[in-house]
Homo-oligomer: A and B are copies of this chain.
Amino acid sequence: MSLNKVILIGNVGKDPDVRYFDSGTAVANFPLATSERGYTLANGTVVPERTEWHNIVVRRDQVAFVEKWVKKGSGVYVEGKIRTRSYDDQSGVKRYVTEIHADRIEFYNTGTRPADGTATNAGTGFQQGGQPQATQQATSYQQPVSQQPDISTDSNSADDLPF
């Protein structure tokens, strides 16, 4: 009788940290920022913007995808679960850290670009490819996909409404 579900859309704070273990497994970690827009109440009270930072943990097949494509600034969609783990800090004091263990990661169209100006649009990367490996990764994400192609050219136009 339990459900532990998290859905996040936000921006990656820095390039993922990927670690490989002797067992052959791998883990990727990166911070993800979600922001609530600030607003002003009717009574004049100003509620400022608020940014939340999430620790994303990625395992298994998605590690390779993350290592290759997810960069600082990337806009990503993350589905997963909340997990809090504890550890003893330098002083021997028990500390807790809450992480989001991702079950699914996709690029999200934010129109952002990495620092070097290269498009991070996964769709482009995957589909222009000639990179079978990347393509394969993509399919494992169901909707490989990523940042939608330039929303300004978005064909979600209402011209072909079926009703």
The binding surface of chain A is classed by DSSP as mixed
Residue A159, interface by CB 8 Å: yes
> How far is A149 from B42 in the complex, measured between Cα atoms in Å?
11
- Which interface class (under 10, 10 to 19, 20 to 34, 35 or more) fits A? 35 or more
- Taken together, the copies of this chain in the complex come to 4
A→B interface (CB under 8 Å):
1-14, 21, 23-25, 27, 31, 33-43, 45, 47, 51-55, 59-62, 72-73, 75, 77, 81-84, 86, 91, 93, 95-98, 100, 103-104, 108-112, 122-123, 126-127, 129, 132, 135-152, 154-163
CB distance from A67 to the nearest CB of B (A): 15
Which residue on chain B has the smallest CB distance to residue A83? Answer: B52
Closest residue to A21 on the B side, CB-wise?
A: B161
Instruction: Judge whether B127 and A4 touch: CB under 8 Å.
Output: no
Known pairs A1-B75, A1-B154. 10 more at Cβ < 8 A?
Answer: A2-B9, A2-B10, A37-B123, A41-B157, A47-B158, A52-B81, A62-B146, A82-B82, A82-B100, A95-B95
Q: A84-B52, A84-B98, A95-B95 are in contact. Are A35 and B158 (CB under 8 A)?
A: no
Q: Are the C-beta atoms of B146 and A37 separated by less than 8 Å?
A: yes
Jot down 11 A-B pairs with beta carbons below 8 A, ordered by A: A1-B109, A1-B154, A23-B159, A31-B161, A33-B158, A37-B145, A39-B139, A41-B136, A42-B139, A53-B162, A104-B146
